[in-house]
Structure 1
Amino acid sequence: MNRREALTALAAIGAVPAARAHAAAGDLKAAAREAWLYGLPLIEMATTRARALTGRAAGVPAGLNRFGHARTLAGPAARGVTTPNNDTLYSSAWIDLTRGPLTLTLPRAGERYFSVAGMNMFTDNDFVLGTRTSGGGGGRFRILGPGQPGSGPDVVRLTTPHGWLLSRILVDGPDDLPAVHALQAQLAIAGPAVTPSAATYADRRAPAPAYFASVADLLRSDPPPGTDAALFARIAPLGLSGQGGFDAKRFGPAEVAEIEAGVAEARAALQAIRPGAAVQGWTYPRSNLGFFGQDYSLRAAVALGGLAALPGAEAMYMNPVGDRGRMFTGPGPYVMRFAAGGLPPVDAFWSLTMYEAMPDGQFFLTENPIRRYAIGDRTPTLTKNADGSLDLWIARSDPGGERTGNWLPAPAQGPFTVSFRAYLPRPELMDGRYRLPPITAA
């Protein structure tokens, strides 16, 4: 069932006994809580798209169905998308398939890591092209939208009429930038011209009535799958349907207060959602990261703290167990010690990236005196110990001596966290036979 066909299934919700019973109970707070989390990925995608189409996102042109390119690696000024990486150059295109399919041209990247992820408006990766899937030889692919006919090895499909293409190309230091720019220049989209909509949407900070009105508009533009019908049955008291229906005027002041209370609970719950299980000092991603199914809580948490996360076969993202949840608050130094022969098993690259924590739960790169925002297998100053082990030093100030070359600077003050990325992880990392060493106070 495609998303447009889902409308028929969702229209039948009113006949579902559970939906009628829930509506009769009138549990607005519970409905608002679940609906707010469900709508957050749509809102975050719309907010990120608006930044791009108004020229507020660096390296992205104000237009649909064309790529904009970041020409330098992300730094502290990159605040358009939470948890940016400092390993790859991004190329980004917001696409509209309502006028017909698009043709995507990929560059010949050879052995260099390269990917283009096609995300629907619910943040699922409907497809990933590149090193792992289509190879490094480049080529042309047809992107089809819901209900558009076509099949074959050069066809990929987006399950919503609108979406986001995000390319990542590995950069091996500053001297490698011209070669990556040449690859970016080969990325292209061809297809019908589309004028961006003038519609505006509320952001996640908006009052509940404005927020849900925007979610309703986004659901009309990009219908949900039929598999979400049970959720719409549960939130029936709110009047938010899969067809986008929502009428704030039918609620009195007391009911609006109840809805706002549910939204407040959702905001609080969002901060407590963990993307996976903690094992030996690290939280490992759930298997459904990047294609979430009906795991609406995880989808919402990732939309806030890691929008555009790739599926596990493409990349694994590990978060540490710090002094306070994911956060580190002490002065350090902290150390992450890999035993001899115990570096992460990957077929592309690995890195450890530093982030300062924002009050709203987002994370961004942080200023530091040596302008090092990540450390990993391509860092030229890394030095192993005499026994072959490797120490990564995490500290607010230079740990000094031979440790400086292995130093990942932390913010001078305030809470911080790190993210460990493993691109094209090998089976032993994916299935848990290999575990990262913990970060401990030195």
Structure 2
Amino acid sequence: MNRRELMAVLAAIAATPAARAFAAQGDLTAAAREAWLYALPLIEMAQARQRMLTATGVDAQKAGLNSFGHSRKLVVPANRWITTPNNDTLYSSAWLDLTKGPVTLTIPPTSDRYISVAVMDMYTNNNAVLGTRTLGGQGGTFTLVGPGQSGSGADVVRVETPHAWMLVRTLVDGEADLPAAHAVQDGLKLKGPKGVAPGAYANRQSPWDAYFSSVAELLASDPPRPEDLALFRKCAGLGLDPKGAFDPKRFDAAAIAQIQAGVAQASMGLIGFTKRMVFTQGWSYPRSNLGDYGQDYGFRALVALAGLAALPVTEAMYLRAQGDDGAVFSGDGLYHLAVPAKLPLDGFWSLTMYEATADGQFFLTENPINRYAIGDRTPGLKRNADGSLDVWIGRSDPGGDRTANWLPAPAKGPFAMTLRAYLPRQEFLDGRFRMPAVQKV
């Protein structure tokens, strides 16, 4: 639905007696918009779970219920199982089912290799991140308990929903380092009751009735936080209950038109967000509540769409470069980024190139040199005498000495770039340090 069609729908439904009756009970369009945004993380998580549990093929990102699946290679453009992937770490995934009891997690010693084990509830909040930052390189054994389950002590990790996603990032330093990284992956263990395979659910493009019916099932399976009850009261006209009740048959044609308009507003608003992002000296910096969103439902929905499974800022800073149109670049010319010799972090950094899709997602892009990111571990880069780095960005090879530091953009179409800084220091977190802007040459 485009903007003109949306405005026509809104004008038509506003004139009907049924619409005026619903307006007396509350704005059904606004209720549908807010409820759609609130529930999008549940839908995206359910879709990711379904893809991973049923994945086939050597390069697929697989996962089990209460068991790990491992990606043995770095992500490439053909891997589109999740939006905005990194090209620095191997992924390991497990979908947790704690309904029958706790699950035990073992993390092996990793020495100085970066690892993070993120435990996300079904609303995409990081309930815990275990690994280099929190454990050092010692590893450990932990008991994951769901809502209402008993457990105490430093080794107990409380998960806020009965189902959850565990996503592990293990740093790999080039092809020769893969066997050692695989050994770390193989040391990850889960032990617990056998999980129950989940059903199929609607996706974000599904019709309103299928979407909200699936949301109701997911709410029943993984109830919301008590502080979310105000949202459900605000959206009472929709009849979506926090315990999972929803009856799409109760609405007449005029009411359905309102609901469809609200869903369209929510979807169009998210896709257009990149044009309204706030930039500071050429970069959009993450909000402090990234990865643990509280009642910031709009931001949570945006991240679920464009960066599902984002880590908290204490673990990693995600910066989006300011482009020609918001956070999106469209030019055919050359761009330049001057990277300081040292960034204030205790981990590593990388600048990753993405092609932007029409529905607001981002994936790695094919290029002639198979380089999808540039970072502090990229071999063959030419640094300046002071250790700083000139990164050249464009659709074609910049030639000469610049070729060594070329980050290829897609051959055509819009693109975006994300800079990741793992284990940022305080001056990065509080804004005292700012990255230089990407400049058009």
Give TM class, smaller chain.
Answer: over 0.9
Letter paired with 1:68: G
Using the TM superposition, give the Cα deviation of residue 272 of structure 1 relative to its aligned residue in structure 2, in angstroms.
3.5
- The alpha carbon displacement at 1:389 in A equals 3.3
Unaligned runs of 5+ in 1: 1-20
Shift of 1:318: 0.2
Match of 2:404 in 1: 405
> Can you give the 5+ residue segments of structure 2 that lack an aligned partner in the other structure?
1-20
Q: Cα distance, 1:382 vs. partner?
A: 1.6
Label 1:62 to 1:348 Cα distance change in 2 as closer, same or farther (>3 A): closer
- Between the aligned partners of 2:425 and 2:97, the Cα distance in structure 1 is 35
**2:395 aligned residue:** 396
* Matched residue, 1:85: 86
- Measured in 2, the distance between the counterparts of 1:323 and 1:177 equals 37
Contact 2:351 2:375 in 1 (8 A): yes
Match of 2:13 in 1: none
* Whole-angstrom distance in 1 between the partners of 2:336 and 2:260: 43
User: What letter matches 1:428 in structure 2?
Assistant: E
CA contact (8 A) 1:283 1:320 kept: yes
| In 2, Cα distance between equivalents of 1:232 and 1:115 | 34
Query: Within 1, Cα distance between the matches of 2:61 and 2:265?
Result: 35
1:385 deviates by 2.4
* Aligned equivalents of 1:91, 1:130: Cα separation in 2: 13
- What is the match of residue 424 of structure 2? 425
The match for 1:358 is 357
For residues 303-324 of structure 1, give each alpha carbon's deviation from its aligned partner in whole angstroms, at most 9, with x where no partner exists: 0000000000000100011001
Kindly report which structure 2 residues correspond to 1:195-214, keeping only aligned pairs within 5 A, or say none: 195-197=196-198, 199-214=199-214
Distance 1:263 1:257, change over 3 A: same
Task: State the 1:388 CA deviation.
Answer: 4.2
Q: For residue 53 of structure 1, report the CA deviation from its aligned partner.
A: 1.3
Cα displacement string for residues 219-241 of structure 1 (whole angstroms, at most 9, x for unaligned residues): 00000000001101110000011
User: Residues 438 and 60 from structure 1, CA distance in 2 versus in 1: closer, same or farther, beyond 3 angstroms?
Assistant: closer
**Pair 1:108 & 2:109 matched:** yes
User: 5 Å matches for 1:239-254?
Assistant: 239-254=239-254
SS in 1 for 2:65: coil
Amino acid in the other structure paired with 2:405:
N
* Number of the residue aligned with 1:137: 138
Does residue 189 (structure 1) correspond to residue 217 (structure 2)? The answer is no
How far apart are 1:52 and its partner, in Å?
A: 1.0
The one-letter amino acid of 1:345's match is: P
Match of 1:17 in 2: none
2:22–2:255 contact (8 Å) kept in structure 1? no
Q: Is the 8 A contact 2:277 2:326 kept in 1?
A: no
Deviates more, 1:274-283 or 1:119-128: 274-283
Q: How far 1:386 sits from its partner (Å)?
A: 3.9
Aligned CA distance change for structure 1 residues 146 and 413 (closer, same or farther; 3 Å): same
1:153 aligned residue: 154
Answer yes or no: is the 8 Å Cα contact 2:354–2:364 preserved in 1.
yes
**Pairwise CA distance, 1:128:** 0.4
TM-score with structure 2 length normalisation? 0.92
- 8 Å CA contact 2:63–2:95 kept in 1: the answer is no
Tell me how far apart the structure 2 counterparts of residues 56 and 267 of structure 1 sit (CA, whole Å). 30
TM-score w.r.t. the length of structure 1 is 0.92
Partner of 1:52: 52
Closer, same or farther: CA 23–120 of 1 in aligned 2, 3 Å: farther
Structure 2 residue aligned with 1:5: none
Code of the residue aligned with 1:294 in structure 2: it is Q
CA contact (8 A) 1:70 1:91 kept: yes
Q: Deviations over 1:73-109 (max 9, x none)?
A: 0000110000000000000000100000000010111
The offset of 1:337, in angstroms, is 1.1
Could you tell me how far apart the structure 1 residues matched to 2:62 and 2:411 are? 35
- Which residue of structure 2 lines up, in the alignment, with residue 349 of structure 1? 348
Q: What is the one-letter code of the residue matched to 2:300?
A: R
- The structural deviation recorded for 1:59 is 4.5
| Partners of 2:54 and 2:63 in 1: CA distance | 5
* Structure 2 Cα separation of the partners of residues 254 and 360 of structure 1: 28
Tell me which amino acid in the other structure corresponds to 2:384.
N
- Cα deviation, residue 60, structure 1: 4.3
Note the alpha carbon deviations across 1:137-190, whole angstroms, 9 max, x for none.
111100000010111011111100000000001111111000000110000100
Change in CA separation of 1:276 and 1:118 when aligned onto 2, cut-off 3 Å: farther
Cα distance in 1, alignment partners of residues 322 and 47 from structure 2: 30
Cα offset, 1:338, TM superposition: 2.9
The size of the alignment, in residue pairs, is 419
Letter in 1 for 2:427: E
Whether the 8 Å CA contact 1:352–1:420 is kept in 2: the answer is: yes
Paired letter, 1:374: A
Residue 22 to residue 261, structure 1, CA distance change in 2 (3 Å)? closer
Q: CA deviation at 1:344?
A: 1.8
Is the alpha carbon distance of 1:308 and 1:397 closer, same or farther for their aligned partners in structure 2, counting shifts above 3 Å? same
SS in structure 1 opposite 2:91? strand
* Partner residue in 2 for 1:292: 293
1:75 and 1:373 mapped to 2: Cα distance?
A: 8
* Counterpart-to-counterpart distance in 2, 1:145 and 1:278: 39
Q: CA deviation at 1:55?
A: 1.8
Paired residue secondary structure (2:78): coil
Matching residue of 1:371: 370
Matches of 1:258 and 1:141, distance apart in 2: 48
CA RMSD of aligned residues (A): 1.6
| Structure-2 change in CA distance of 1:387 and 1:186 (3 Å) | closer
Q: How many angstroms does 1:292 deviate by?
A: 0.2
Within 2, Cα distance between the matches of 1:175 and 1:41?
37
Contact 2:52/2:61 (<8 A) preserved = yes
Deviations 1:283-338 (A, max 9, x none): 00000000000000000000000000000000010001100111111112100013
Structure 1 match to 2:218: 218
- Contact 1:71/1:181, CA 8 A, preserved across alignment: yes
The residue type paired with residue 64 of structure 1 is: L
1:63 positional shift: 3.2
Q: Partners of 2:438 and 2:334 in 1: how far apart?
A: 10
The one-letter code of the counterpart of 1:385 is: N
Deviations 1:172-212, CA, capped at 9 Å, x for gaps = 11110000001100001001112313x21100000111100
Tell me which residue corresponds to 1:437.
436
Q: Is the 8 A contact 2:62 2:93 kept in 1?
A: no
Conserved 8 A contact 1:72-1:89: yes
Identical-pair percentage: 61
